[in-house]
Amino acid sequence: MKELNLQNSQTRLRARFLKNGVKMTGPETIFFSHDTKIGKNVIIEPYVVIGKKVKIGNNVIIKSFSHLESCEIENKVEIGPYARIRPNTILKEGSRIGNFVEVKKSIIGKKSKVNHLSYIGDSEIGKSVNIGAGTITCNYDGVKKNKTIIKDNVLIGSNSSLVAPITIDKQSIVGASSVITKNVKKRSLALTRSTQLEIKNYRRK
C-alpha cells in the first residue's frame, strides 16, 4: 500500500509539473518531493532525483542521473549529467555543474563552472571562476570542516587540491596538479609541482 501511495504521489507531481510547462524526457524516471519548486522553461532529462527543499529557477537544464537535495538553483543554470548537489548549496545565475561533480554546502557564483570530476565542499566561489577537472577542496582536517574561498575570475588548474582553510584572491591562477595550502594573493600564479626528471636510454632491470 505504501509503495502504491508513493507511485500515485509521483504520478500527480509529474502531471502537475508537466502542466506547468516543465519539459521532461521520460517523466516516469524522474522523482520529485512534495515541496519541490520549479520555475519556467525548465528541462529535466531522464533519471533525475529531486529530494526535499529544492528550489529551481527559470531556464534551468538538469541532465540525466543527477541528484539534488536541500539546495537553491538560480536562473540559467545547467547541471549534470551525473551531478550531485547536496544540502545548503546555492548555484548562482548562469553557473554550470558538469558530470561527476559533487557540491556540498557551497555557493557557486554567477557564470562559474565546475565541469568535470570535482568535489566542492564548504566553499564560496565568486563570479566567472573556472574549476579544472579533478579539483577537490580538502575541507575536513579530521576534527572540523574548514572553508575555501575562491574570489572572482580565478582559474583553478586540473587535478588541484585546495587545503582549507584557504582563500584564493581575484584574478589568480592555480597551476594544474598543485596542492595549495596557503592563501593566494590577487593576480598571482600559485604552483606547487615537482621538477620533471627524465633518464635517457633507461632500461628495465
CATH number where 20 lies: 2.160.10.10
Nine-digit cell string for 125 = 566561489
The position carrying cell 520549479 is: 38
Pairing of the two strands 136-138 and 161-163: parallel
Active site residue 116: yes
Q: What was the pLDDT predicted at 4?
A: 65
Give the three cell numbers for residue 54.
Answer: 529544492
196 lies in a domain?
no
Q: What is the pLDDT along the chain (205 residues), one digit of tens a residue?
A: 566 677 899 999 999 999 999 999 999 999 999 999 999 999 999 999 999 999 999 999 999 999 999 999 999 999 999 999 999 999 999 999 999 999 999 999 999 999 999 999 999 999 999 999 999 999 999 999 999 999 999 999 999 999 999 999 999 999 999 999 999 999 999 999 888 899 999 988 7
Nearest Cα neighbor of 85 from 116, 42, 49, 59 is: 49
CB 104 within 8 A of CB 123: no
Distance separating alpha carbons of residues 5 and 44, to the nearest angstrom: 23
- Within a domain: 111: yes
Residue 2 confidence (pLDDT): 62
Number of structural domains found in the chain: 1
Taking the C-alpha atoms of residue 202 and residue 205, their distance in angstroms, rounded to an integer, is 9
Domain that holds residue 114: 2-190
DSSP symbol at 150: E
Asked if residue 199 is part of any domain, the answer here is no
pLDDT at 63: 98
C-alpha–C-alpha distance, residues 80 and 69, integer Å? 14
Other C-beta atoms lying within 10 Å of the C-beta of residue 62: 25
Residue 174 lies in a domain: yes
Strand order in the sheet with 49-50: 49-50, 67-68, 84-85, 102-104, 119-121, 136-138, 161-163, 179-180
Residue 195 belongs to some domain of the structure: no
Report whether 58 contacts 75 (CB < 8 A).
Answer: yes
Q: Could you tell me if 83 and 60 are in contact, meaning their C-beta atoms sit under 8 angstroms apart?
A: no
- The pLDDT, as a whole number, for residue 6 is 77
Q: Which of 53, 116, 147, 170 is catalytic?
A: 116
Which pLDDT belongs to residue 154? Answer: 98
Burial of 200 (0-12, 13-18, 19+ CB in 10 A): exposed
Does a structural domain hold residue 10?
Answer: yes
Q: How many CB atoms lie within 10 A of CB 108?
A: 29
Contact 131, 156 (CB under 8 A): yes
